[in-house]
Structure 1
């Protein structure tokens, strides 16, 4: 047989099983990422006062009789541990790749295009940024910024 082809039928089946298992794992990961809830928690009374609406960031409700803190029906949910993303996809890019900040073309050598997506560091100048982008595209990386 030609080089690169499996030697026997068993090896061919084993190779096919590995490919299918990898495909299933990727699909499972994609489904997990798609189901990842991006909940936006509201500050108490942000729906009522314009000054809170502008600064729409989370503040824990702390009043004794605060209805939101008491988690009464009709009030927005508060931040809890259960809203955390699954460990398998925490910090991942929506494409399923692991984001990595790169500040030189040399940093790309230790990365894999199948696993990583490249973000070019903010402190990098234009000339070096173009150099990194060119090197990344040559090696098959996706550049996010």
Structure 2
């Protein structure tokens, strides 16, 4: 069967699929929402009684050929750096950029993916993302440069002030010494 048809079948199956939650999850606060097979002897859920929630069964499974594929029909591959793109095939694989990848590296990966014809699955509009990220980086660089400049200016101002203070202190000390000399002369 064609992959697109199978993907459509899978989409319909998933739309009908209920949320499988653990028996008595809503009654007992200690139970997690995660599915567990009911094992009780008188369990209505195990016996598939009407009015109870649905049990996990193979009828809800997607077709084997499209199992684990992205909705575009591509295999999802996580990429941490641009070198990993060389190994992949753009017709089979869709690229997902790792969340731990930094902005600079992400831009490099996006540019290379665009060049090689890869579909980036976790970024909707790669061109717009690249543009925004480069603007942010330029603004950050500019602000850091200004901050550095401000720090230098502040240090220079403080140095001038301290030099001025030292000069004032020297003057005061010199005046004090002269006064002391005059006072000591008068006492004699």
TM-score normalised to the size of structure 1?
0.69
Check conservation: 2:3, 2:65, Cα contact below 8 A.
no
Q: Using the TM superposition, give the Cα deviation of residue 26 of structure 1 relative to its aligned residue in structure 2, in angstroms.
A: 4.4
Q: Does 1:97 align with 2:74?
A: yes
Q: Using the TM superposition, give the Cα deviation of residue 73 of structure 1 relative to its aligned residue in structure 2, in angstroms.
A: 1.3
> Cα RMSD between the aligned structures?
2.4
Structure (1/2) with the larger helix percentage: 2
1:64-123, CA deviations, whole angstroms, 9 ceiling, x for partnerless residues? 111001111111111123332221011010111111111221221232323221011234
Q: Does 1:40 align with 2:5?
A: no
Q: Which runs of 4+ in 1 moved over 3 A?
A: none
Report the counterpart of residue 53 of structure 2 in structure 1: 76
Structure 1 residues 52, 76: closer, same or farther in 2, change over 3 A?
farther
Unpaired stretches in structure 2, ≥5 consecutive residues:
123-188
Q: Which has the higher contact order (CA 8 A, sep 6+)?
A: 1
Check conservation: 1:29, 1:96, Cα contact below 8 A.
no
Structure with max Cα Rg: 2
Matched residue SS, 2:70: coil
Check conservation: 1:100, 1:117, Cα contact below 8 A.
yes
TM-score normalised to the size of structure 2?
0.55
